[in-house]
Amino acid sequence: MKVHIPRVMLAATSSGSGKTMVTCGTLQALINKGLNPVSFKCGPDYIDPMFHGRVMGVSSKNLDTFFTEDNVTRYLLGKEAGKAGIAVLEGVMGFYDGLGGVNTKASSYDLARVTDTPVVLIIDAKGMSLSVVAEIEGFKNFMPDSNIAGVILNRMSPMILKRLQPEIENRIGVKVLGCVPVADEFAVESRHLGLITPAEIKDIKERINGFADVIAENIFLDKLIDIAKSAPDLEYEVPDIPKLPEGTKLRIGITHDNAFCFNYRDNVELIEDMGAEVVFFSPLNDRRLPDDLDGMILYGGYPEVYAKDLCDNSSMRNFIKSAINDGMPYLAECGGFMYLHSEMEDMKGVKYPMVGVIEGDAFMTGGLKRFGYINLTSDGKDVFGNKEMFCKGHEFHYFDSSSNGDGLKATKPLSSRSWQCCHVTEDSVAGFPHFYYYSNPDYIYSFLMRCADKKRK
């Protein structure tokens, strides 16, 4: 399949360069121009797509070249971006930063290369003048296929930019799209897993709209749109996705609220594409599980922030425990896994009773534990009827457990480091890893088939 999709990546030289706010402001400015954008986040980040989607109403997903092979990456881009007028891809970390810190695999550059997307590089230029030209030249020429077509200079005055623009465009051959002045009044706070989620910021819509006005006044949006239109046709083949047997009806309950907000839209849509019905529920706000569930998935988020509220909702905790004890198949990842413990600490170290199907405690460690991408294998153990199960995922958490499980083997890419993780039974997988289903659709299909088997019995 070959489709023309105007697209551009907003990348940066490092984390903290302002790319998330520039991306959000740019998306809102494009909406204000009536261009119907969609957005994608490079890498496994959950929170940035929330700002794109929940605040601005922009369809937003993740793209990750560690999780998916090249054709599937292009397919996921084309599948979503084909519905829109322009696609904006937000980079991650520094442009070339990938696996192990010394490899470009899974970097913003790698995603731009795989999808043949032109790049606009955002540079934090505070305190710089001519040196910024050297920085841009170094980034553009570090790889011959960098795809860097333009630059935005963050925290630089228009007066200095006016002098530097000819140097940048004539010497390096990239377009200068403008500069963004310091706008601290629109900044978004952070916490231990990244930015605070948009649901927790009362005036987030006003902040984004205000910053969109700053973008519209200081960035040449028409140049950015021209760069996006210059992208070549996107080519991909539609991958084969297993389907549930004809006539099979499944209802899968999935956690979704402020405490359990970490899920990939492509994971949820893949479940639906396989033929199951997805029903969202809130362990925070609902008193009971939805009716007639055949399985459930408890995704991650910030349960530690809402530990007392989760504890106080004893009705929901009892419904979940009873469903699991009665044999309902389930998956639990990171925060969802913590919620299933006997006890969980909050951010102040106060312990609260939780669901109680994992006999152990979830506790704060004060630092990142087992951070980054992992390959997950069944290591010869049975996972929903498969003894050679494989899936890719990642871990990113400040909490740990006194009962991590040993049903799967996690191995770091480009490394010999590995460890055992996850509680695995014939009906469940529960642990800290977040799984990305398109890395091996058979993983989630096997789970759905287990739900179907239990329903028939």
Measured CA to CA, the distance from residue 82 to residue 215 in angstroms comes to 26
Q: Which of 231, 229, 238, 228 is nearest to 78 (CA)?
A: 238
For 159, residues 6+ apart whose C-beta sits below 8 A from its C-beta are: none
Measured CA to CA, the distance from residue 109 to residue 116 in angstroms comes to 10
Structure-block tokens of residue 34:
């009536």
Check if the beta carbon of residue 250 is closer than 8 Å to that of residue 455. yes
pLDDT digits (tens, 9 = 90+) for 70-97: 999 999 999 999 888 999 999 999 999 9
pLDDT digits (tens, 9 = 90+) for 251-284: 999 999 999 999 999 999 999 999 999 999 999 9
| Local confidence band at 187 (pLDDT 50, 70, 90 cut-offs) | low
Q: What integer pLDDT is reported at residue 371 of this predicted model?
A: 84
Structure-block tokens of residue 351:
């312990």
CA dist 305 → 123, 150, 201, 284, 356 (Å): 34, 40, 15, 11, 19
Q: Which of 194, 186, 146, 188 is nearest to 9 (CA)?
A: 146
150-159, 208-217, 369-378, 405-414, range with the lowest pLDDT: 208-217
pLDDT exceeds cutoff 90 at 107: yes
Check if the beta carbon of residue 1 is closer than 8 Å to that of residue 225. no
Q: What integer pLDDT is reported at residue 199 of this predicted model?
A: 58
Q: What integer pLDDT is reported at residue 207 of this predicted model?
A: 77
pLDDT digits (tens, 9 = 90+) for 113-125: 999 999 999 999 9
Half-sphere exposure for 126 (CA within 13 Å, toward CB): 9
Q: What integer pLDDT is reported at residue 54 of this predicted model?
A: 63
- Matching residue, tokens 């499944």: 250
- Residue 103 phi/psi, 5-degree rounding, is -135, 145
Measured CA to CA, the distance from residue 362 to residue 336 in angstroms comes to 11
pLDDT exceeds cutoff 80 at 376: yes
Check if the beta carbon of residue 119 is closer than 8 Å to that of residue 149. yes
pLDDT exceeds cutoff 50 at 246: yes
- Matching residue, tokens 């994608």: 40
30-34, 326-330, 407-411, 432-436, range with the lowest pLDDT: 30-34
Counting residues of the chain whose pLDDT is more than 90, the rounded percentage is 77
Check if the beta carbon of residue 297 is closer than 8 Å to that of residue 331. yes
Given 24, 42, 334, 451, the catalytic residue: 334
63-67, 68-72, 82-86, 137-141, range with the lowest pLDDT: 82-86
Is 261 annotated in the active site? no
For 49, residues 6+ apart whose C-beta sits below 8 A from its C-beta are: 39, 41, 60, 61, 62, 265
DSSP 51: I
Q: Which of 119, 84, 78, 39 is nearest to 233 (CA)?
A: 78
Q: What integer pLDDT is reported at residue 333 of this predicted model?
A: 98
Structure-block tokens of residue 268:
């949820």
Check if the beta carbon of residue 431 is closer than 8 Å to that of residue 422. yes
64-78, 171-185, 315-329, 352-366, range with the lowest pLDDT: 171-185
pLDDT exceeds cutoff 70 at 48: yes
Residue 235 host element (H or E): strand 234-235
Check if the beta carbon of residue 178 is closer than 8 Å to that of residue 217. no
Greater pLDDT, 379 or 108: 108
pLDDT exceeds cutoff 80 at 182: no
pLDDT exceeds cutoff 90 at 131: yes
Q: What integer pLDDT is reported at residue 228 of this predicted model?
A: 98
Q: What integer pLDDT is reported at residue 457 of this predicted model?
A: 82
Q: What integer pLDDT is reported at residue 178 of this predicted model?
A: 95
Q: What integer pLDDT is reported at residue 169 of this predicted model?
A: 97
Across 39-45, average pLDDT: 94
